Amino acid sequence: MMPVATMMLDDTPMFDPNILHELDWSENTTTFSPAISPLDPGDGLVLRPLCTADLNRGFFKVLGQLTETGVASPEQFIKTFEHMKRSGDYYVTVVEDTNLGQIVATATLVIEHKFTHSCAKRGRIEDVVVSGECRGKQLGKLLTSTLTLLSKRLNCYKITLECLPKNVDFYKKFGYSVSEENYMFQRFFN
């Protein structure tokens, strides 16, 4: 994707970053060695909400290591960002390497509102990916733990995700188990 005129993009976060930093990290059930946390993800790294300026920091390059991102214009990106921000139910979270000014990892928590379970909320973890050169540095664990705790903090009655069989053991680290339900889908477009 071509660099976009900086004036169109800014550092306004998709959601209040304090909610990440105020999580009770002692409730995290995964082991981190060395110890890292949302407030202190490692040297030169920052864990924070997505902002539109991340378009020029390689956000799509990282997402592209998970799946086909297709071609999106900056206007489309901003429109989708604003929609998510306005809804208040999207927590697109990134890790930035501030020395490089590059996004190196991302994951999303989406909150679904239900009429069932006394009008409860359900969390969904989506689009977890760490850039190839940064894998194995606990960033995938950090993002998944953070968003799982966040869903609890937001009073979700449960949290779910879909993953390939090869990633099942990764998510078991955070307390997820394989459901007896089938994941069904129908694809309309690529």
Ligand X SMILES: CC(C)(COP(=O)(O)OP(=O)(O)OC[C@H]1O[C@@H](n2cnc3c(N)ncnc32)[C@H](O)[C@@H]1OP(=O)(O)O)[C@@H](O)C(=O)NCCC(=O)NCCS
Residue numbers at the binding site for ligand X (CB under 6 A): 66, 128-130, 135-141, 163, 166-167, 169-170
Structure tokens at 47: 């864990």
Task: State the residue for tokens 């991340």.
Answer: 54
DSSP 68-133: ------HHHHHHHHHHHHHHT-EEEEEEEETTTTEEEEEEEEEEEE-SHHHH-EEEEEEEEEE-GG
Choose between 33 and 99: whose C-beta lies nearer to ligand X. 33
Choose between 58 and 85: whose C-beta lies nearer to ligand X. 58
Nearest distance from C-beta of residue 107 to ligand X, angstroms: 8
Nearest distance from C-beta of residue 184 to ligand X, angstroms: 17
Neighbouring-strand partners of residue 99: none
Choose between 9 and 47: whose C-beta lies nearer to ligand X. 47
Q: Which of 53, 41, 43 is nearest to 13 (CA)?
A: 53
Choose between 56 and 138: whose C-beta lies nearer to ligand X. 138
Nearest distance from C-beta of residue 69 to ligand X, angstroms: 13
For residue 34, say if its preceding peptide bond is cis, omega within 30 degrees of 0.
Answer: yes
Nearest distance from C-beta of residue 40 to ligand X, angstroms: 15
Which residue number is nearest to ligand X in terms of Cβ?
140
